Amino acid sequence: MARILVIAPSSGLKELFIEASLKLQQEITIEVGKGEEGLTIARKQEKNGYDVIVSHGTTAHLLYQHCRLPVVEVQTSGYDMIRTLMLLQGFPGKVGILGSNRTLQGAETIGTLLTMPLNFFPVEQEEERLPAVQQAAAQGIQAIVSDIIGQAEAASYGVHVLAIIPGQEAVMSALTEAKRLGASINRTKQQHMFLAGILSEYEDAIIAVDNKGVIRLVNKKAEALFAIKEEQAMEKPGREVHPLLQFTDMVKTQSFSIEEIHSIANQNVLVKKRLLYHNGKPIGAVAVCKEASGLKQMENRMSCFSFTPQQSRMHFPHLIATTEEMIETLETARLFSKHDTPILIYGETGTGKQSLAEAIHNESPWREGPFVVLDCTAIGEGTAEEELFGEVKGEGSNIFNLAKGGTLYLQDVGSMPLALQDRFICLLQRRHTIERIDSAQSSPRIIAAHIHDLKSEVEAGRFREELYRLLHGGVLRLPPLRKRKQDIPEFIRWFIISFNMREGKQIVGAR
């Protein structure tokens, strides 16, 4: 709930705020203070976590000028104007209305209804207030009705001031607006805290400056890298913290982004500097600094993306087979799916090797487990060895632990580097030993695929014969589409169905 501070210029207005807060069920803090006294109270109180301040008249104007918190002014209504003018019925002197155009709206009509001749003095800016009073006095105005001029200010000109006192409806409206504004501020605060938390804990050093080059953001990593404290760096020009945090040349040359390697604190750091724009104008800049050691770790971790659990959507009914060869292949695959023997799938690129592997997984006793794809073309010696074969405490190797209870699909297995093949051989041999000792151990079933027969890779010395033997359980061969042209009409049918569903079309066939 929004925290609202009310600075009431009078005790009578305080009572109206109390009544309004009870009706709105809105908790508020009310302090009584007029003018400078109210400003002094507000300055002390705004440090206590309030979201918005509500006040009236000259006090509201002072708070708006000198307080950091947003100020909601109690706007007087036509009813308030009528109540005040009725006090002047029968007054023999000239009467003036002084205020903003909003205050003056309808005042002429009200004067006509009350048979009172009125003079109007519009004031929109703070500096126009006293000159307007002076002008009114020069025109012989003896009484001014206003919600922004105090008695003391008008006294020196010999003019009486009647303050337009807001009623219950005006106070209710102001509190409602403050409640809405406070809720919006709270949402913004929460979002700011969320983003600040992310940036603070971000693994790279981040320092941001405004369009004058003054530091506005320093995260924890930047504190450590540049050996500074956030409170010491804030509000300082970036160049005073470190020469790298000079963005003037970027602004002059309109260089949107710069990447450079620098030595900071005796270590190589990749520094990315980028200008920040809003509505086409530069509003600041940010420097993101990544340590070279972190780049190396990221490079190593990228290999983890070569073995990730995926959704296995394909089932045997999804696979198209009208030719005798494909029908026999799928029947054999269904038989293989019931057993844990490794499977080798051969086929040219695009023949559907992974789709068949997914169908086997979904038909098998391991269908509730993960379907993990290891893209053997995406891994290289050294960079992926630890991620693939490193031990997870008490849980075996990374790759087998990730695929535990499911299927490990080795895509383009013939592309696996020889050193990693050796590690994989040890892993498979150890798996068989563990399973003989502990039948409860749920290792993944292995399905491997390659574009051509691995026997030729073994003969060429590019593939270990022992690994070939361990993977060569059941063999499935997928013919290319040019050798199964009878399947083309079915492919077209299902392509059209899929396209219609995705694009909202109603295509019924192709010629």
The candidate with the shortest Cα–Cα distance to 210, out of 130, 275, 132, 149, is 275
Residue ending a domain, among 269, 298, 327, is 298
| pLDDT higher than threshold 50 for residue 94 | yes
Same domain, 451 and 380: yes
pLDDT tens digit sequence for 27-43: 999 999 988 999 999 99
Same domain, 380 and 469: yes
Averaged pLDDT, 236-265: 78
Quickly state the pLDDT bin for 354 (edges 50, 70, 90): very high
Helix axes 11-24, 168-201, angle to 10 degrees: 70
Same domain, 323 and 454: yes
Same domain, 210 and 278: yes
Same domain, 208 and 268: yes
Averaged pLDDT, 198-211: 86
Mean pLDDT, the chain, as a whole number? 83
Q: Which two tokens stand for residue 149?
A: 């001029």
The neighbour count for residue 405, using CB atoms within 10 Å, is 13
Residues 6+ apart with CB under 8 A from 430: none
Averaged pLDDT, 293-300: 51
Q: What is the pLDDT of residue 437?
A: 41
Specify the CATH number for the domain of residue 218.
3.30.450.20
Sign of the Cα pseudo-torsion (440, 441, 442, 448, in order): negative
User: Of 401 and 469, which is predicted with more confidence?
Assistant: 469
pLDDT tens digit sequence for 405-415: 899 999 999 98
Residue 501 counted as domain residue: no
Same domain, 71 and 82: no
Same domain, 236 and 248: yes
Quickly state the pLDDT bin for 252 (edges 50, 70, 90): low
| pLDDT higher than threshold 60 for residue 458 | yes
* Location of structure tokens 């799928």: 330
Averaged pLDDT, 370-375: 88
Same domain, 180 and 159: no
Residue ending a domain, among 232, 264, 298, is 298
Separation between Cα atoms, residue 278 and residue 281, nearest integer Å: 5
Kind plus residue range of the DSSP H or E element containing 346 = strand 343-347
Specify the CATH number for the domain of residue 55.
3.40.50.2300
Specify the CATH number for the domain of residue 441.
3.40.50.300
Range of the domain at 243: 202-298
Same domain, 84 and 131: yes
Same domain, 418 and 437: yes
Residue ending a domain, among 247, 269, 298, is 298
Q: How many structural domains does the chain have?
A: 4
Same domain, 232 and 339: no
Residue 502 counted as domain residue: no
The candidate with the shortest Cα–Cα distance to 123, out of 101, 155, 96, is 101
**DSSP three-state, residue 32:** strand
Separation between Cα atoms, residue 406 and residue 340, nearest integer Å: 11
Specify the CATH number for the domain of residue 101.
3.40.50.10660
Same domain, 368 and 435: yes
